[in-house]
Amino acid sequence: MGGDLCEVGIEMKRSSQIKKKGVIFLLIGIILLVWYFALFGEKGVIKIVQLKRQLNRIVNDTSQMREENKRLREEIRRLREDPRYLESVARRDLGLIKENEVLFIFENERVEKEGSED
């Protein structure tokens, strides 16, 4: 009869050790799961880093666009208010000349321009 009690005690001890191991594995599994979602989840560290990089790119793009808009507004103002600037743009971009002006195109300049376009 004493042997049976000893065997029951040993079985209870084994059962207790198995339960402890099971709890430890369960806790490790939960910790790994939480860690995985903390890194790779929708609100994880990696996603936050990607969003911060994207935010920096957007802020830089916005800043560049504001500067470009400022420059374009100034050019529009000058085109509307400064006849000399308008004339210089027309001459430069459209190749216009004033009335009674004669345009001379020299052969050397044409050859140089054609050679520089390559």
Judge residue 78's burial from the number of C-beta atoms within 10 Å of its C-beta, 0-12 exposed, 13-18 middle, 19 or more buried. middle
At 37, the amino acid letter reads F
State pTM to two decimals: 0.49
45-73: pLDDT as tens digits: 888 899 999 999 999 999 999 999 999 99
What residue segments make up the domains of the chain, in order of their start?
1-40, 43-98
Tens of pLDDT, residue by residue, the chain (118 residues): 555 666 766 777 777 788 888 889 999 999 998 888 887 788 888 888 999 999 999 999 999 999 999 999 999 999 999 999 988 888 888 877 877 877 777 887 555 555 555 5
